[in-house]
Amino acid sequence: MYRKGEFSMSDYEDRQYKPLSPWAYFLYSILFAVPVIGFVLLIVFSLNSSNYNRRNFARSYWCILCLILALLVLLFLVAVFLAAVCGIKILPILGQLSVIQ
């Protein structure tokens, strides 16, 4: 029995706050990198509250993906702008690369 003033978490709360090991972070990173399954699990884990550390890691992975996407869009826009300044028509080249004609 617990003494007065002694705090005890329930088993559910204990599982919610259980820290992830370094191997878990590594394996979750590999799992999230799998194209379709990783994307689905990334959504599930970022909305799930069974383990707060796993949820926060999935949310941080989303933030990294958004930053990478924003940087790629910015890089593409800079490349198109520089091509326009130099007189290179890059958009017709992109049109020729499409498979459906």
The predicted-structure confidence for 2-49, as pLDDT tens digits, reads as follows: 566 566 667 767 888 899 999 999 999 999 999 999 999 999 999 998
Write down the pTM of the prediction: 0.73
Chain centroid to CA 98: 29
Q: Is the pLDDT of residue 100 over 90?
A: no
Question: Residue holding tokens 């910015």?
Answer: 74
Output the six-digit token pair for 7: 């705090």
82-97 per-residue burial string, b: 16 or more CB within 10 A, e: under 16: eeeeeeeeeeeeeeee
Q: How many residues does the chain have?
A: 101
